Amino acid sequence: MSPTAASTACAMPPSIDATKIRRDEPLARHTSMRVGGPADLFCEVESDTELGACLAWARQSGVPIFLLGGGTNLVVGDGGIRGLTLKLGRSFRRADWAVDGDRAEIVVGAATNFKKFVGETLDRGFAGLEFAEGIPGTIGGGVIMNAGAFGGEIGGVVRALRGVDEEGGLRRLGRDELRFSYRHLDLPRGFVVTALELELVRGDPTAMRARAADAREKRGRHQPVGHPNAGSIWKNPSGDFAGRLIDKVGLRGERIGGAQISPHHANFIVNVDGARASDVGALMERTRDLVWAARGVWLEAEVKRVGEWGAP
């Protein structure tokens, strides 16, 4: 156990069940890329009260805290994550619907599987999220990165966000307080999203399913299958596509260690053979440098690199 884990394990607030705290939890098992070192301390919280107590204790104790969502769109360094890693548990995976004629207001927990929720909106006949068919991870992670595809973004249907601030207090952010941009949402420092308030309108079921099927087909045509990955590695630069630029410098299929730029689509890195985070990082740096040198475009990462990027 790391010094941080040893020094904090006995100091958790009494409102947190100590049996829920896991030490040196391997984070590779919690991420879609299947790489990364351990979390010093790991806790899956089941209520706003538990979450608030953890956040308040961490702030007062000076313990670093990291919130892990569905584990997509990020790569954890081989050195793991210091302090306390929190994950929203099963109680944050529900959706409460209030339907009034052709309008629906939904409060959906941030840990809800994004793909399953899109399926639920299709089954109920409410439009607005068809573009997200097949997007992996949780809907909370989706809103933080303003997930989008094929002309749509989740920010377009969000009415408000509920969550817990760094002091441990409950807070609601209305639409006028939310600043969405391309693959990004500005949030107050330390704010953790626990639920989304969405507003959808009833649509034509045939047209909705056709749009969802089109999104699914396009995603299936471009995204690699069969190997762990973290989704798109790079944001598309203005007026171009990251995958096309990487192709142009001849890096499709390039491999370092157990990580490979996907032969299927060059904007993905796949774990083909027990990759380490350092392999993924080295491929990212090589890609960025070559694209800059050859095309004059500085690629901006869409995937997040977190934790310590050195030897464990």
pLDDT tens over the chain, length 312 residues:
454 544 444 455 556 666 688 999 999 999 999 999 999 999 999 999 999 999 988 888 899 999 998 898 899 999 999 999 999 999 999 999 999 999 999 999 999 999 999 999 999 999 999 988 888 889 999 999 898 777 789 999 999 999 999 888 999 999 999 999 988 899 998 899 999 999 999 999 999 999 999 888 887 777 787 899 998 999 999 999 999 999 999 999 999 999 999 999 999 999 999 999 999 999 999 999 999 999 999 999 999 999 999 744
Q: What is the pLDDT of residue 170?
A: 94
Domain boundary among 56, 73, 91: 91
Token pair for 84: 């306390």
Active site residue 232: yes
The residue annotated as part of the active site, out of 159, 162, 183, 219, is 183
* Structure tokens belonging to residue 73: 């769109």
pLDDT at 221: 73
Say which of 2, 44, 153, 232 is annotated catalytic: 232
**Nearest of 292, 282, 301, 284 to residue 248 by alpha carbon:** 292
The helix-helix angle for 114-124 and 205-222 (nearest 10°) equals: 160
In terms of residues, how long is the chain?
312
Domain shared by 218 and 277, yes or no: no
Looking at the 3D structure of the chain, how many domains does it have?
Answer: 3
Spatial separation of the C-alpha atoms in residues 44 and 22, rounded to whole Å: 9
45's CB contacts (< 8 A; 6+ apart) are 51, 54, 86, 87, 88, 89
Give the per-residue pLDDT at 14: 59
Same domain, 135 and 250: no
Is 282 among the domain residues?
yes
Tokens of 292: 């800059």
Residues 270, 260 contacting (CB under 8 angstroms)? yes
Rounded Cα gap, residues 155 and 145, in angstroms: 9
Whether 78 is covered by a domain: the verdict is yes
DSSP state of 169: -
Does residue 232 sit within a domain?
no
Give CA separation, 207 vs 152, 156, 214, 225, in Å: 15, 19, 10, 27
Residues 114, 208: one domain? Answer: yes
Cα gap 189→191, rounded to integer Å:
6
Q: What pLDDT is stored for residue 312 in this prediction?
A: 43
pLDDT computed for residue 16 by the predictor: 67
The CATH number covering residue 20 comes to 3.30.43.10
Write out the H or E segment, with its range, that includes residue 152.
strand 152-153
pLDDT at 97: 97
Residue 276 sits in a domain whose CATH number is 3.90.78.10
Examine the fold and report which residue of 39, 63, 91 is the final residue of a domain before the chain moves on.
Answer: 91
Q: 184 - beta bridge partners?
A: 181
**φ/ψ of residue 310, rounded to 5:** -150, -170
Residue 228 lies in a domain: no
- C-alpha dihedral sign at 18, 19, 20, 24: positive
Q: What H or E segment, with its residue span, contains residue 261? A: strand 259-261
Is 183 a residue of the active site?
yes
Asked if the structure places residue 229 within a domain, the reply is no
Domain that holds residue 265: 242-306
Please give the model's pTM, rounded to 2 decimal places: 0.82
